[in-house]
């Protein structure tokens, strides 16, 4: 199996605090890796490094052999990355054009349908509820069918149906060969979707491997093993 | 080692300055038109030149930082700008005094004077901005960019007397006119004093850089402590 | 090509946002009007005004510009939109160009309003050399806009951003402003150009070219962590 | 009493947020220098400058004010802090007063630095009537600050934002600015006051009182949805 | 039992869209009501009305007999309501003073300890991870021991430990007599904590009553019943 994502000995400092410490991680092409860890462990920092949004001091990071800045992964961060004063449709049009998608209009309409915002497509984002925003942000991220998806707590504020919709999106993305890393605190959902898990604690990678049956039955297992 | 170089440079500068001052006041005669005051030239113009050279050195270090991401280059750029700024201010002040004596006014908005003042403002802004940014990589990155933009103005300062008819005298120094505009004895002292002032600047830069790198060492030691923990 | 297409995309988006919210246009427009009104009070003699009209106008533009540029990248901060753009295939250079284009259009609109008001208040006929005047305005405004975009990006994450931006851009703008002021003065007072005045035009053009080139080169450095 | 205590709390918080370090004074100083230099470029002869010194100074203050006020409520937008304050026992009136106080302090600091620099650059002795001058500055600045706070509140309010109210609020400042300019001119040129000039002072006071009262009354309407 | 919160026939319009439709709801003093509903159902709107942050067109809303603007409930919204450029401690000091708490300093220190931010108390909030922010926001909300707590998706971004901490806080608050309404999509956690549940759908209240044993065993039950 080829590695889609390769991190080797990466350190990231904020001032003199090391938020990521000597992390070496390979994610196979086509797998879905759940990045787990307590608040402040360094999940967001790691994902931002992979998205090319954050510099790091030591080590190397590569996505399909190129630097994160060149890989243009689909990235969904804590901030959701859509404009408050544009409508849902305008947002998707804009980001579709930015991503150089072939038919921005029809793709945008299709995605509005998929994430259940077809009725609200001409409302401004500032009029959206929190969950509707998150759905729009998901559409924005998946829109250009990126080969690598970096999702930071994508389940936030989603209702049961939207969670099912996102799970389906993830399964479908894997089927077309995309590689996924997602961080989350919703262990149960994560275990169902993930093929691999990684646990990060105080910036250090404590575990990385396949998601086992035992984890599926007891989502909190990993935390307890490394307590 | 670096300390010794700094002390050595400072000593050389002091010796040279003493010699120059003796030559200036005891050997050279008063100038025909201006009288005694013309001697301010020996500080006025070299200070300007050293300042401008400094900005280009800082430009070089800024570009070096951007290609190497080596913080040493960043602190060198910053200390060079700081020292250059001091000499630019010396140039402004001596020029003002001279203007008061010769032209009867402290200041006028001609191209040379204006651009020289703007240059000081730009690099003052550079220092203010550096102080406002706490994160070291961000500070180095942004101030390097600002330094590159600022140096465009230094070119304007230098060329302003060629481009515009100004109150300020046109080019006189040999390397710009091809020679002949300045008395050789005067030119000799002029360049000697230029050298002296350049040495003072180098000594100051060395001291400033040492302070900066000490601060950086403390920083990285602290990181190391965290790394071990 | 791609850079230009992307830049236009950004500019269009920014203008759409601005027209919808009028955040900076309101502030800048109101401010420009107040300054012009105040000045008409401060100088009772209209003769004086004609003499300093060029300076006055460009000062107003520079001030209104600061209000516009402060917002230009700040608009990308809510919801971390800037991150999304930086992670996308869009190059930082096209982002800066796009912002500069949006700034340019907004500032030009502001200038049009200002000069009309100026003409009415101070009884100045500015339509005689309208071709040359447009050229001077366009050249000057592009220079202000590109610098405003670059330094809007540079200061977007700084505290006291509002003060920091003028501190940095105004000194850099001085040569350009002086050239624009001289030319505007000339054109408003209905004199013909001398060779010396072409120098000012050349200065404007050189300034625009140099700073645009530097902006393209340094966009990456400024925007990417 | 409670309103005042709360207002002070808000003002202290705002000042802490913006002025964490003494660097902010540097920034304010640099800002003043740059703006004043820009002015002297625009109007080359220094003789003119002396005459219009009063107008010049208040223009700088109005510009710095615009930059400061734009932030004053915008600072409460990230993380919906404004909501948190509105849901707390704090009254909207104390919120507006607190913002005005913080604006007042920041602007006054800027003014102090500006006038010192102004005195040096343009060789004006402003210390002769320092008592009266302080009074004029304080009165004028409070008026600008309270209107700036109301203006800031209006611009963050989504309901009212599209109403172009900023365009109305700014011109409201014109009478106050004119009064302050006339008085400053007078005091800088070392003339004695005539009954006519007391009229300006009265105008300043009335303006301050009326607008402060209006701000208190309307704070609820402006801030609460 | 006295009603702490009384909503009678409340309608809320955004333009011509009714986000809350004729909602009548009483919440008993000392109870904990989980407000459930799909994305865009109107949960946030309802909570904002109760916090006095949103006007409404028809009906009446009272908290302990006074209008929402006078009741000063503890409110935690989607935005977390802390200042990015103040430290955690400074934030809590400020909000403690705003709430007129007796000893702001010691109370702030105590709460920093409770939410697990004692080590990070002098960091600026902008340096916090998403979960650390949420913890700080919780401290900010509970700090002045309000009689009514309005919590909009308080579990967002919290890790397992922080969820336990919040659950404990809620239990403790009820013990001292506080009334709680919380909205959430994390049904499992909600069912464990709540004494009552309310379901809102398209702005209409579809269900309000005690949380039954059946719901505890099958958190999705309510949604299915009203499908
Ligand atoms: C980068 C900036 C400057 C450079 C390189 C520079 C260089 C020089 C040089 C080489 C001379 C000698 C010219 C001669 O002897 O004919 C000179 C003269 C002079 N400079 Fe500057 N100068 C600079 C800025 C200034 C400034 C800012 C001022 C005023 C504040 C100033 C005021 C004068 C005066 C008054 C003279 C003598 C004029 C006369 O002889 O009529 N200079 N400068
Ligand atoms: N700009 C910053 N300056 C200083 N420290 C920072 C900064 N950003 C993050 N940190 C620190 O880095 C650590 C990791 O943060 P990160 O956001 O990656 O955590 P996380 O795993 O995503 O947590 P969460 O689950 O809460 O989102 C935290 O301790 C945080 O305080
Ligand atoms: N400012 C607004 N203008 C117009 N419509 C709005 C506005 N705010 C909210 N709405 C609409 O009101 C409805 C209810 O929104 P609300 O935020 O209360 O939902 P919610 O139940 O909190 O959803 P979520 O679970 O996604 O947070 C949504 O359909 C939303 O589009
Ligand atoms: Mg995170
Ligand atoms: Mg909600």
pLDDT in tens, C53-62: 888 899 899 9
- The mean per-residue pLDDT over the stretch E135-151 comes to 95
Q: In this complex, is the C-beta atom of B225 within 8 Å of any C-beta atom belonging to chain D?
A: no
DSSP state of A102: S
DSSP state of B25: I
Please tell me the predicted confidence (pLDDT) of residue E1: 61
Interface test with C, best of D66, D157, D168 (most C CBs within 10 A): D66
CATH at residue B173:
1.20.120
Please tell me the predicted confidence (pLDDT) of residue B229: 54
Ligand 2 center to A203 CA (angstroms): 9
Domain count, chain B: 1
Least confident piece of the model among B184-193, C162-171, E75-84 = B184-193
Per 3-state DSSP, chain B is made up of helix, strand and coil in percentages (nearest 5) of: 85, 0, 15
Ligand 4 center to E192 CA (angstroms): 26
CB contact under 8 A, E79 and D17: no
Q: In this complex, is the C-beta atom of B127 within 8 Å of any C-beta atom belonging to chain C?
A: no
Mutate to test the pocket of ligand 2, among E117, E129, E157, E161 (most ligand atoms within 8 A of CB): E129
Residue B218 lies in a domain: no
Residues within 8 A of E (CB atoms), D 73-92 only: 78-81, 83-90
By residue range, what is the domain housing residue B84? 2-29+36-212
Along chain A (227 residues), what's the average pLDDT of each consecutive run of 10 residues?
89 89 94 95 96 90 93 93 95 95 94 95 95 97 95 95 95 94 93 94 94 88 85
Please tell me the predicted confidence (pLDDT) of residue B32: 67
Please tell me the predicted confidence (pLDDT) of residue B227: 62
Question: Which residue of chain A comes nearest to C220, CA vs CA?
Answer: A69
CB contact under 8 A, D37 and B118: yes
Please tell me the predicted confidence (pLDDT) of residue C103: 95
Residue B226 lies in a domain: no
Q: Strands A74-76 and E32-36: what pairing?
A: unpaired
Please tell me the predicted confidence (pLDDT) of residue E95: 96
Cα C220 from Cα D14, distance rounded (Å): 33
CB burial of residue C43 (10 Å; 0-12, 13-18, 19+): buried
Please tell me the predicted confidence (pLDDT) of residue B2: 72
DSSP H/E element including C56: helix C46-74
Which residues on chain C are in Cβ contact (under 8 Å) with B148?
A: 214, 218
Which residues on chain C are in Cβ contact (under 8 Å) with B138?
A: 157, 225
- Long-range pairs for A66-72: beta carbons < 8 A, 24 or more residues apart: A69/C224, A71/A148, A72/A146, A72/C87, A72/C88, A72/C89
Q: Whose CA is nearest to atom 29 of ligand 3?
A: E40
Mutate to test the pocket of ligand 3, among E15, E19, E151 (most ligand atoms within 8 A of CB): E19
> Closest ligand 2 atom to the C-alpha of A46?
18
Judge whether residue B61 has pLDDT over 90: yes
The number of beta carbons lying within 10 Å of the beta carbon of residue D108 is: 17
Which residues on chain E are in Cβ contact (under 8 Å) with A162?
A: 39
CB contact under 8 A, C41 and D161: no
Which residues on chain E are in Cβ contact (under 8 Å) with D17?
A: 83, 85-86
DSSP H/E element including B112: helix B111-132
- Is residue C178 within 8 A of residue C160, CB to CB? The reply is no
Cα E137 from Cα D57, distance rounded (Å): 44
Please tell me the predicted confidence (pLDDT) of residue A132: 96
Q: In this complex, is the C-beta atom of B129 within 8 Å of any C-beta atom belonging to chain C?
A: yes
Ligand 5 center to E43 CA (angstroms): 6
Phi and psi for C68 in degrees, rounded to 5?
-75, -45
Reported as a pLDDT band with limits 50, 70 and 90, residue C46 is low
- Is residue A31 within 8 A of residue A180, CB to CB? The reply is yes
CB contact under 8 A, A83 and C13: yes
Which residues on chain C are in Cβ contact (under 8 Å) with D166?
A: 26-27, 30
Please tell me the predicted confidence (pLDDT) of residue E75: 96
DSSP state of E120: G
Please tell me the predicted confidence (pLDDT) of residue E61: 94
- Is residue C137 within 8 A of residue C110, CB to CB? The reply is no
Q: In this complex, is the C-beta atom of C3 within 8 Å of any C-beta atom belonging to chain A?
A: no
Specify the higher pLDDT residue, E151 or D131.
E151
CB contact under 8 A, E127 and A14: yes
Where chain D has pLDDT below 50, the residues are none
Ligand 5 center to D69 CA (angstroms): 31
CB contact under 8 A, B131 and D34: no
Residue B104 lies in a domain: yes
Cα E164 from Cα E192, distance rounded (Å): 11
CB contact under 8 A, C175 and B150: no
Which residues on chain B are in Cβ contact (under 8 Å) with C168?
A: 122, 125, 129, 146
Please tell me the predicted confidence (pLDDT) of residue B78: 94
CB burial of residue B211 (10 Å; 0-12, 13-18, 19+): exposed
Q: In this complex, is the C-beta atom of D71 within 8 Å of any C-beta atom belonging to chain E?
A: no
Identify any residues that bridge with E66 across adjacent strands, giving them in sequence order.
E63
Reported as a pLDDT band with limits 50, 70 and 90, residue C185 is confident
C-alpha distances out from residue D195 to C43, D189, D198, D200, E217, Å? 23, 17, 5, 9, 85
Cα C214 from Cα B157, distance rounded (Å): 19
Q: Whose CA is nearest to atom 25 of ligand 1?
A: B95
CB contact under 8 A, E39 and A220: no
Reported as a pLDDT band with limits 50, 70 and 90, residue B7 is confident
DSSP state of A224: H
Q: Whose CA is nearest to atom 6 of ligand 3?
A: A127
Q: In this complex, is the C-beta atom of A200 within 8 Å of any C-beta atom belonging to chain C?
A: no
Q: What is the mean pLDDT of chain E?
A: 93
Buried b (16+ CB within 10 A) or exposed e, A88-120: bbbbbbbbbbbbebeebeebbbebbebbbbeeb
Which ligand lies nearest the alpha carbon of A201?
Answer: 2
Q: Which of D27, D34, D44 faces B121 most closely, judged by CB atoms?
A: D34
- The mean per-residue pLDDT over the stretch E99-115 comes to 94
Cα A6 from Cα A10, distance rounded (Å): 10
Q: Which of B134, B136, B226 faces A18 most closely, judged by CB atoms?
A: B226
Question: Which residue of chain B comes nearest to A202, CA vs CA?
Answer: B229
> Closest ligand 3 atom to the C-alpha of A159?
25
> Closest ligand 2 atom to the C-alpha of A45?
18
Q: Whose CA is nearest to atom 10 of ligand 2?
A: E127
Please tell me the predicted confidence (pLDDT) of residue A42: 96
Phi and psi for A198 in degrees, rounded to 5?
-135, 140
- Over pLDDT 70: what percentage of chain B? 93
Ligand 4 center to C113 CA (angstroms): 47
Helix (H, G, I), strand (E, B) or coil at E15: coil
Interface test with D, best of E53, E90, E142, E147 (most D CBs within 10 A): E53
Please tell me the predicted confidence (pLDDT) of residue D18: 82
Phi-psi region of A30 (alpha: psi -120 to 50; beta: other; left: phi over 0): left
Please tell me the predicted confidence (pLDDT) of residue C69: 92
Residue ranges of alpha helices (H) inside chain E are 43-50, 68-71, 88-98, 104-114, 130-142, 160-175, 187-193, 213-217, 221-225
pLDDT single digits (tens) C192-219: 777 777 888 998 999 999 999 999 999 9
Helix (H, G, I), strand (E, B) or coil at A27: strand
pLDDT single digits (tens) B9-45: 888 888 888 887 877 777 777 776 777 777 888 889 9
Contacts of D106 (CB under 8 A, 6+ apart): D15, D18, D19, D28, D68
Cα A200 from Cα A205, distance rounded (Å): 4
Cα C167 from Cα C160, distance rounded (Å): 11
Phi and psi for D182 in degrees, rounded to 5?
-60, -45
Please tell me the predicted confidence (pLDDT) of residue B18: 83
CB contact under 8 A, C157 and B132: no
Helix (H, G, I), strand (E, B) or coil at A26: strand
Helix (H, G, I), strand (E, B) or coil at D224: coil
Please tell me the predicted confidence (pLDDT) of residue B218: 82
Cα E130 from Cα A78, distance rounded (Å): 7
CB burial of residue E84 (10 Å; 0-12, 13-18, 19+): middle
Q: In this complex, is the C-beta atom of B137 within 8 Å of any C-beta atom belonging to chain A?
A: yes
């Amino acid at each position: 199996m080829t590695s889609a994502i390769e991190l080797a000995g990466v350190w990231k400092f904020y001032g003199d605090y090391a938020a990521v410490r000597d992390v070496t991680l390979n994610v196979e092409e086509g797998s879905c890796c759940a990045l787990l860890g307590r608040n402040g462990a360094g999940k967001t920092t790691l994902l931002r490094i992979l998205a090319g949004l954050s510099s790091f001091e030591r080590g190397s990071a590569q996505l399909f052999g190129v630097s994160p800045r060149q890989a243009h992964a689909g990235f969904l961060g804590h901030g959701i990355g859509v404009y408050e004063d544009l409508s849902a449709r305008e947002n998707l049009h804009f980001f579709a054009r930015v991503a150089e998608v072939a038919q921005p209009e029809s793709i945008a309409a299709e995605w509005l349908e998929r994430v259940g915002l077809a009725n609200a497509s001409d409302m401004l984002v500032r009029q959206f509820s929190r969950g509707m925003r998150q759905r729009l942000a998901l559409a924005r991220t998946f829109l250009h069918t990126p080969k690598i998806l970096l999702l930071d707590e994508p389940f936030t504020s989603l209702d049961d149906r939207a969670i099912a919709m996102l799970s389906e999106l993830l399964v479908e993305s894997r089927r077309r060969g995309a590689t996924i890393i997602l961080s989350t605190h919703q262990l149960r959902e994560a275990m169902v979707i993930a093929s691999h898990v990684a646990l990060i604690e105080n910036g250090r990678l404590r575990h990385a491997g396949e998601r086992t049956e035992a984890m599926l039955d007891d989502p909190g297992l990993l935390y307890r093993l490394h307590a | 080692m670096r300390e010794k170089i700094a002390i050595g440079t400072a000593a050389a500068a002091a010796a040279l300055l003493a010699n120059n001052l003796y030559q200036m006041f005891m050997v050279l005669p008063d100038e025909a038109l201006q009288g005694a005051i013309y001697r301010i030239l020996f500080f006025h113009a070299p200070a300007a030149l050293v300042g401008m050279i400094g900005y280009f050195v800082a430009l070089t270090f800024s570009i070096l930082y951007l290609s190497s991401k080596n913080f040493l280059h960043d602190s060198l750029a910053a200390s060079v700008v700081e020292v250059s700024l001091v000499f630019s201010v010396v140039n402004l002040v001596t020029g003002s005094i001279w203007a008061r004596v010769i032209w009867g006014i402290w200041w006028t908005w001609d191209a040379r004077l204006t651009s020289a003042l703007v240059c000081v403002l730009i690099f003052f802004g550079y220092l203010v901005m550096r102080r406002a940014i706490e994160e070291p990589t961000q500070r180095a990155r942004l101030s390097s960019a600002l330094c590159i933009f600022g140096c465009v103005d230094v070119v304007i300062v230098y060329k302003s007397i060629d481009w515009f008819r100004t109150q300020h005298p046109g080019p006189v120094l040999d390397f710009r006119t091809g020679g002949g505009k300045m008395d050789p004895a005067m030119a000799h002292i002029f360049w000697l004093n230029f050298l002296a002032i350049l040495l003072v600047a180098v000594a100051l830069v060395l001291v400033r850089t040492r302070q900066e790198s000490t601060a950086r060492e403390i920083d990285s030691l602290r990181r190391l402590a965290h790394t071990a923990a | 090509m791609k850079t230009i297409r992307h830049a236009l995309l950004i500019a269009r988006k920014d203008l759409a946002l601005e027209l919808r919210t009028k955040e900076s246009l309101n502030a800048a427009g109101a401010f420009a009007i107040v300054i012009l009104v105040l000045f008409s009070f401060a100088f009772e003699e209209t003769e004086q005004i004609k003499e300093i009209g060029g300076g006055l106008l460009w000062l107003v533009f520079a001030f209104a510009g600061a209000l516009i540029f402060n917002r230009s990248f700040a608009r990308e901060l809510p919801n971390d939109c800037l991150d999304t753009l930086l992670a996308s295939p869009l190059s930082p250079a096209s982002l800066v160009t796009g912002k500069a284009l949006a700034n340019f259009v907004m500032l030009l609109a502001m200038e049009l309003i200002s000069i009309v008001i100026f003409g009415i208040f101070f009884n100045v006929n500015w339509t005689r050399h309208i071709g040359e005047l447009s050229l001077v305005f366009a050249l000057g405004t592009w220079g202000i806009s590109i610098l405003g975009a670059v330094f809007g990006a540079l200061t977007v994450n700084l505290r006291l951003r509002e003060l920091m931006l003028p501190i940095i851009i105004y000194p850099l703008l001085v040569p350009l402003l002086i050239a624009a002021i001289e030319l505007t003065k000339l054109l408003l007072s209905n004199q013909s150009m001398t060779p010396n005045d072409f120098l000012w035009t050349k200065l404007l053009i050189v300034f625009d070219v140099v700073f645009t080139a530097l902006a393209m080169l340094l966009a990456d450095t400024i925007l990417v962590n």
